[in-house]
């Protein structure tokens, strides 16, 4: 399986706010919002937070603790033998990997994961997204761009 990844986070190096994985095909998508315990940066407050819940009804959920998101990711990914995860920004991969951690030296069970970082110079998920700065819609925009160009 190949999934396209996008994450939203609170400022450069700030906490992960939401994470989405979108498949090549029209099968099941993953979307989670993480709990956030401090005030948001001004830009994120204006451009990200209002759109966190702008996803299809079946994917809407309240913000969850990071450990719950890790367990949900594990449950969601474990049916696959291996998964390729495609991103267009290095931080997305870093945040995804960190989301798998449940404690000091502990992580959830996942299948074999391969990461592909694509340098898509001139392409912006936000400019091509139905809902800019929403992880699910940005991941869909990334998928559409990559699939339509035959990468």
Report the percent of the chain where pLDDT is more than 70: 100
Cα–Cα dist 114/107, whole Å: 17
- Sort strands 30-33 and 82-87 into parallel, antiparallel or unpaired: unpaired
Q: Which of 15-19, 86-90, 110-114, 126-130 has the lowest mean pLDDT?
A: 126-130
pLDDT tens, position by position, 42-97? 999 999 999 999 999 999 999 999 999 999 999 999 999 999 999 999 999 999 99
**CA 28 vs CA 1, 101, 109: distances in Å:** 11, 23, 20
Pair of tokens at residue 139: 């991941």
How far, in Å, CA of 63 to CA of 34, rounded? 5
Amino acid 25: pLDDT: 85
- Report the predicted TM-score, pTM, of the whole model to 2 decimal places: 0.94
**DSSP 8-state code for residue 76:** H
The residue written with tokens 């474990």 in the block is 78
The number of helix segments (H) and strand segments (E) in the chain equals 5, 7
Measuring CA to CA, how many Å separate 18 from each of 31, 42, 82? 7, 17, 23
């Amino acid at each position: 399986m190949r999934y396209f990844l996008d994450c939203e986070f609170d400022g450069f190096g700030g906490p992960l706010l939401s994470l989405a994985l979108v498949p090549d095909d029209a099968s099941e998508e993953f979307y989670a919002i993480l709990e956030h315990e401090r005030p948001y940066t001004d830009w994120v407050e204006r451009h990200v937070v209002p759109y966190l819940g702008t996803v299809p009804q079946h994917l809407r959920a309240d913000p969850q603790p990071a450990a719950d998101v890790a367990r949900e990711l594990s449950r969601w990914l474990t049916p696959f033998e291996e998964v390729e995860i495609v991103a267009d920004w290095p931080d997305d991969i870093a945040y995804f990997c960190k989301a798998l951690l449940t404690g000091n030296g502990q992580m959830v069970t996942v299948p074999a994961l391969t990461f592909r970082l694509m340098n898509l110079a001139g392409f912006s998920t936000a400019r091509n997204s139905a809902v800019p700065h929403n992880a699910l819609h940005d991941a869909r925009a990334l998928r559409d761009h990559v699939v339509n160009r035959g990468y």
